[in-house]
Structure 1
Amino acid sequence: MHRIERKPQEVFGDWIAGVADDWPQDAREWAHREFIDTIAVMVPGAVDPLADKIFATVEAWGHGPCTVFGKQQKLAAPWAALVNGAIAHVLDFDDNFDPPKAHPSAVLVPAIMAVAEEEKLSGPAVIDAYIVGLQILGRIGQGLNPTHRNRGWHATATVGVMGATAACARLLKLDAETCARALSIATSMSGGFMSQFGTEMKPIHAGLAAKGGIMAARFAQAGVTAGALTLDGATGMNRLMVGPDYEQLRDAMTHVEHGQTLRYSLENVGEPLLITEHKFRVKRFPTCGAIHRAMDGLLDLKEQYDFTAADVVSVDLLMPQVHFNNVFYTDPQNPLEAKFSAEYAVGCILARGDCTLADFTPEKVMSEDVRALFPIIHRHPVDKAESEFPTEVHVELKDGRKVKAVIAWPRGSKAAPFTDAEYWSKFDKCCAGVLDDDARAHLRDALERLPDLSHAGEIMARATFPSSQATRQQGQRRVYDNAN
């Protein structure tokens, strides 16, 4: 009997619509923690200048029932998700997820919360949608990576919209065929280049993906038709967004990390459950995660050998080339560029003993205490994957000592996850200078109760701040003043 081969989007659509909401408790807890982390970084993100730029642009496009972080005026769901996604990603302090090599929560949380407000959905429903959306985001990302990301696509945008679509389709209880169509529609909203790193468009990618997920699910719900071969076909997402050598690369692959096989996993979409298998890379520093292993290593060396910047002859960074590809600014000229600079991140650790939100003002970025160290920080790219080659930090001291740290996983990752106390400590630090003690406690209370909330929108209702420009500028200054 001839076997009819099913399309990836059909298999994924079946799983989105049909998988039971009986997740293991640790999966629910991981999802809950990433809501905490994302809401935390959205608080200072809401007083970043980009927030006002985007809100001023989209405000006239449609008011509605959905909260924009830090604003009194509510918007229609796609526009609220657009602003909130950018706010969540603007400080580059939000989590990373290895299977797609993307920032998932800055996309998923804003999309999910907008639909939850619109539809008055519960906390358990949003946690369920997050787990479902993350699984599809990861599975599609594994089918495109590692080549997709290494060739310059920003997976937070390209694959993030697919995860957001799955999460929204789950919230709206769409049937399997409609879920599959929603994923096909979402491919038409997939885009974003790493050449935007170090600019305000980079965080807007997260917002566009969140918005696109809502729109794709709603278009599918309305009956909009879409192609059947948009994920895997002659002009499918994998061939177009990997390259014309997609099949050769896929068939020649010998080393696999993070499940990235250049193949869509269709035999068992939900096993393993990626949220518990891979967990997250929760950020200790508000910089590109590619440099965090080096930053951790240098901090460890400073603590172990008790040296300062004045004692150092040189710092040599041996890192996979793909990590250096992300932190490509060797002479950053503004805070956004500094977030993608190996020299600035390592220089902050060496000169200041840490790297916090306070280090990303124009004055701090141009300060000579760090910039004077750039010439002694040397790059040594290694043509190996990150799991094949841990980051090495070599420090030569003026007293003749040569010390070295080897770091395979950064703090906050699967190998060294944050404790619940560390999540809440990050939340408190992010709120400092933006929310007063009562407002912070009010928001934390709702976040703590997320798994049991009858209306998840209660969290967003506690996320409005004073909206005058003067007050917001004062809040932004206080963020940086209190970041240490």
Structure 2
Amino acid sequence: MERIAKEYCYKDPPWRILDRTEEKTMSVTVEDRVGGLTEGSTGRLARFVLETDWGMIPETVRHTGVRCLVNIVGNALGGVQDLAIQRLISTLRPVSGPPQVAIIGRREFFDPPSAAFINAASSNVLDFDDTHFPSVIHPSAPVYAPLFALLQHDAVSGQKFLTSFILGMEIACRLGCAVSPQHYHRGAHITATCGVVGAAIACGKMRELNMERLVWAMGISATCAGGLVENLGSTAKSVGVGGAARDGLMAALFAEAGIDSSPIAIEGPRGFLAVGADKPDPAMLTRDLGEDWEIERNALKAYPSGVVLGPVIDAALELAGKVDLAQVAKIVVTGNPLLLERADRAQVETGREAKLSIQHSVASALLGRAIGIGDYTDEAVARLDVRRLRSKVSARPSADFALDAARLDVEMLDGTTVSATVDHARGSLTRPISDDELSEKFLSLARWGSSQVKNDRLLHTLWSVDKLADMRAITRLCTAA
């Protein structure tokens, strides 16, 4: 039985084009079409998402989901006034559809895909979001933003929202693990490429798609996957994250409307895994599914910079105030090879580049004895004292250091050396920031970019999101007065 499209009317959101009652009359199932699909990775993931409800999610995983939501909304509030986001908003405004969805921290409303794009990009632009350490994905931004775009017209409970949010991040992280580390080394920005699939799954769950359409949503989103590591340190990086949120939303809506895809778009011989890595690990997609949760390996950053810089900043802060900076001859940073691959940038000209600079982060931490958003602005990069000190910083790789570890050796003009070693950075899995620290981070971000939002009330509501009957209470609070 084919679905019949109804005439689109601006008073209705785009996902109401089709009559939901027709969905219930569909008799074709995935098994009918492709036989044993449910034994494949794509089908098993879709069935897991379809069958998992709030009561099946462990309490620790639920709390992790709430923490991730508090963190990412705070990032959106902090990033929305960034010049890059303002330029994106100005560009999208004249080409967007009817305004329906709020932009977090602002007064404007945009069409759902554009709002998903902007909210995801603003959540990522400060590099203060979250990191799934095994895959180095920042999963929250591309997954929560399209879910917010679906909240404006229908009452969705906090538990339903969190279930969709958690499952979307879980699938994105598992997909990232299945193609790591080759995917990233090839130059694919894994947050965008895997995040789009997580976004589609999350939206499909919230839209209550059946298994067939969840499979289609995954296939459609996988064909939209894109993003380049080469663009890290530029605004294009956040454009990729915004695109993942927008395309994930549209993939779910397309699938709901009956747009199909290959049933094995993820694990097929020319599917996402094969294209994304030389030696992918398909078993990682479904190993201990529902028992071992990858989302619990997602950590919240303590500093607004690339995650590889966390231990470097910790080491510099440990030595700040203990050495006479006027007597420093040279500073040597030793860390994980990925630290140098991503962040060995001695010559930086902008604050955005500096977020991925060992040299700038060390100099700023030593001089300021603290690190915040203001240390990664164009003005901070241009400071003469910062430029002089970062010229003395060099770095060397060592496979003996984990991603969250580093050592800082400061050699003085008199030949003595002062050192600091960090085994696990603040904001890592071993040293996570506490709920209280997360609340302070949220309020600090909100003060930076969205002072007109009722931030204290919003924070309180976010911490109790699982008690909400209607998530629109949060989206209203996110809008500037």
TM range (shorter): 0.7 to 0.9
- 1:81/1:4 Cα in 2 relative to 1: closer, same or farther (>3 Å)? closer
Offset from partner CA, 1:423-469 (integer Å, 9 cap, x none): 11111211225444882223223323312111112222122236xxx
- Residue number in structure 1 paired with 2:114: 79
- Worse-matched range after superposition: 411-420 or 70-79: 70-79
Determine which of 462, 470, 473 is the counterpart of 1:447. 462
Q: TM-score, normalised by structure 1?
A: 0.86
Structure 2 residue aligned with 1:473: none
Alignment of 1:95-134 (within 5 A): 95-134=130-169
Is the Cα contact below 8 Å between 1:111 and 1:214 reproduced in 2?
A: yes
The question of whether the paired residues in 1 share the 8 Å contact of 2:352 and 2:377 is answered with: no
After superposing the two structures, state which structure 1 stretch, 62-71 or 423-432, moved more.
62-71
Q: CA deviation at 1:99?
A: 3.4
- Whichever residue aligns with residue 50 of structure 2, its letter is A
How do 1:52-451 and structure 2 match up within 5 A?
Answer: 52-59=86-93, 60-242=95-277, 246-247=278-279, 261=281, 263-276=283-296, 278=297, 280-302=298-320, 306-383=322-399, 386=402, 390-436=405-451, 439-451=454-466
- More deviation, 353-362/33-42: 353-362
Instruction: Please tell me whether the aligned partners of residues 302 and 308 of structure 1 are also in contact (alpha carbons under 8 angstroms).
Output: no
Q: Using a 3 Å threshold, how does the CA distance of structure 1 residues 21 and 447 change in structure 2: closer, same or farther?
A: closer
Residues 355/139 of structure 1: CA separation in 2 closer, same or farther (3 Å cut)? same
Instruction: Single out whichever of 397-406 and 124-133 deviates more from structure 2.
Output: 397-406
For the structure 1 residues 333 and 266, does the alpha-carbon distance in structure 2 shift closer, same or farther, using more than 3 Å as the test?
same
The one-letter code of the counterpart of 1:107 is: P
Distance 1:431 1:287 in 2: 17
CA distance in structure 2 between the partners assigned to 1:46 and 1:221 by the alignment:
31
Q: Distance in 2 between matches of 1:296 and 1:189?
A: 38
Residue 416 of structure 1 aligns to a residue whose secondary structure is coil
Q: Give the Cα–Cα distance (whole angstroms) in 2 for the partners of residues 124 and 200 of structure 1.
A: 34
Tell whether the 8 Å contact from 2:320 to 2:367 is kept in structure 1 after alignment: no
- For 2:15, the equivalent position in structure 1 comes to none
Task: Indicate the residue corresponding to 1:479 in structure 2.
Answer: none
Match of 1:30 among 64, 70, 75: 64
Contact 2:309 2:361 in 1 (8 A): yes
Tell me which amino acid in the other structure corresponds to 2:41: P
Whole-angstrom CA distance in 2 between matches of 1:438 and 1:186: 33
After superposing the two structures, state which structure 1 stretch, 310-319 or 9-18, moved more: 310-319
1:113 CA drift (Å): 1.5
Task: Give the count of matched residue pairs.
Answer: 444
- Percent identical among aligned pairs is 25
Compared CA separation, residues 9 and 350, structure 1 to 2 (3 A): same
Structure 2: give runs of 5+ residues left out of the alignment: 1-34
Answer yes or no: is the 8 Å Cα contact 1:100–1:159 preserved in 2.
no
Q: 1:109 to 1:141 in 2, by over 3 A?
A: same
**Partners of 2:110 and 2:330 in 1: CA distance:** 52
Matched, 1:40 2:74: yes
Q: Deviations over 1:10-32 (max 9, x none)?
A: 11111110123222222111111
Paired amino acid for 1:368 = L
Within-5 A mapping of 1:12-27: 12-22=45-55, 23-27=57-61
Helix, strand or coil at the partner of 2:131: coil
Change (3 A) 1:308 1:40: farther
> Is the alpha carbon distance of 1:436 and 1:363 closer, same or farther for their aligned partners in structure 2, counting shifts above 3 Å?
closer
* Structure-2 change in CA distance of 1:97 and 1:350 (3 Å): same
- Classify 1:310/1:150 alpha carbon distance in 2 versus 1 (closer, same or farther; 3 Å): same
Q: Distance in 2 between matches of 1:196 and 1:9?
A: 30
1:131 deviation in Å? 1.3
SS in 2 for 1:427: helix
Deviates more, 1:455-464 or 1:363-372: 455-464
Q: 1:321 Cα shift?
A: 1.8
What displacement does 1:64 show?
A: 4.0
Query: Is the partner of 2:276 in helix, strand or coil?
Result: helix
